[in-house]
């Protein structure tokens, strides 16, 4: 398993607000190589599967509804120390607590509509990347 990869989504809020280009620019300028990229959408069922780990949380139904509310951009990214470096680049889950200059500080509006997803481990990066991409779509 590659350990220098992470998986990200540009979430429906950031897509709807026209931030795809600016966010991809931040990502590539921070040294991440794009391994796979897709403009797509999650059905409620697929969003529920993706965030199944949160199914017992009070915000789960709202999260599933939000994540299936419009198109998203999915991507696999490569860089040394990808998981930790990407989470530093995006900032805290709650954008009001995200460091200045982070993607969530710049582009997110709320703890739910927080502009981007970032994998939390090598294992989940592999699972989440394979959720969206076949081997033929990774370069
Ligand atoms: P992500 O997994 O999307 O990168 P994260 O790892 O920073 O985010 P998690 O704890 O995994 O945060 O939560 C997953 C997502 O669920 C968050 O990004 C956010 O969209 C939503 N979420 C988390 N906590 C809350 C909350 N208290 N209220 C509403 N939505 C929440
Ligand atoms: Mg998470």
Catalytic, 117? Answer yes
Residue 6 Cβ inside 6 Å of ligand 1? The answer reads: no
How confident is the model at residue 101, as a pLDDT? 98
Work out which ligand 1 atom sits closest to the CA atom of 119: 4
Domain that holds residue 108: 4-134
Ligand 1 mutation pick, 50, 53, 88, 93, max ligand atoms within 8 A of CB? 93
pLDDT at 2 over 70: no
How far is residue 116 CA from its own chain's centroid? 4
* Residue 76 predicted with pLDDT over 70: yes
In a domain? residue 139: no
Supply the pLDDT for residue 19.
98
Structure confidence by residue, pLDDT tens digits, 50-69: 999 999 999 999 999 999 99
Domains contained in the chain, number: 1
Q: Using one digit for the tens of pLDDT, what is the confidence trace for 81-122?
A: 999 999 999 999 999 999 999 999 999 999 999 999 999 999
Token reading at 39: 């403009």
* pLDDT (0 to 100) of residue 100: 98
Closest C-alpha among 78, 85, 76 to residue 103: 85
Structure-token pair, residue 55:
């199914």
What tens digit of pLDDT does each residue of 27-52 get?
999 999 999 999 999 999 999 999 99
Q: For ligand 1, atom 15, which residue shows the shortest CA distance?
A: 112
pLDDT of residue 3: 72
Contact 135, 32 (CB under 8 A): no
Strand, coil or helix: 7: strand
pTM: 0.96
In sequence order, what DSSP letters do the residues of 86-124 get, joined into one string? Answer: HHHHH--SSGGGSPTTSHHHHH--SSSS-SEEE-SSHHH
Question: What stretch of H or E contains 83?
Answer: helix 82-90
CATH of the domain at 53: 3.30.70.141
């Amino acid at each position: 398993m590659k350990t220098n990869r992470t998986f990200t989504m540009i979430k429906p809020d950031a897509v709807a607000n026209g931030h795809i280009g600016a966010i991809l620019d931040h990502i590539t300028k921070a040294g991440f190589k794009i391994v796979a990229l897709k403009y797509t959408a999650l059905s409620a069922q697929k969003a529920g599967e993706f965030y199944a780990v949160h199914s017992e949380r009070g915000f789960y139904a709202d999260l599933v509804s939000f994540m299936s509310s419009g198109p998203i951009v999915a991507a696999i990214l490569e860089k040394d120390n990808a998981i930790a470096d990407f989470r530093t680049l995006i900032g805290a889950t709650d954008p009001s607590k995200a460091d200045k200059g982070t993607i969530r500080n710049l582009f997110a509006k709320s703890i739910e509509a927080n502009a981007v997803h970032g994998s939390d481990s090598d294992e989940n990066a592999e699972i989440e990347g394979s959720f969206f991409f076949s081997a033929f779509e990774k370069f």
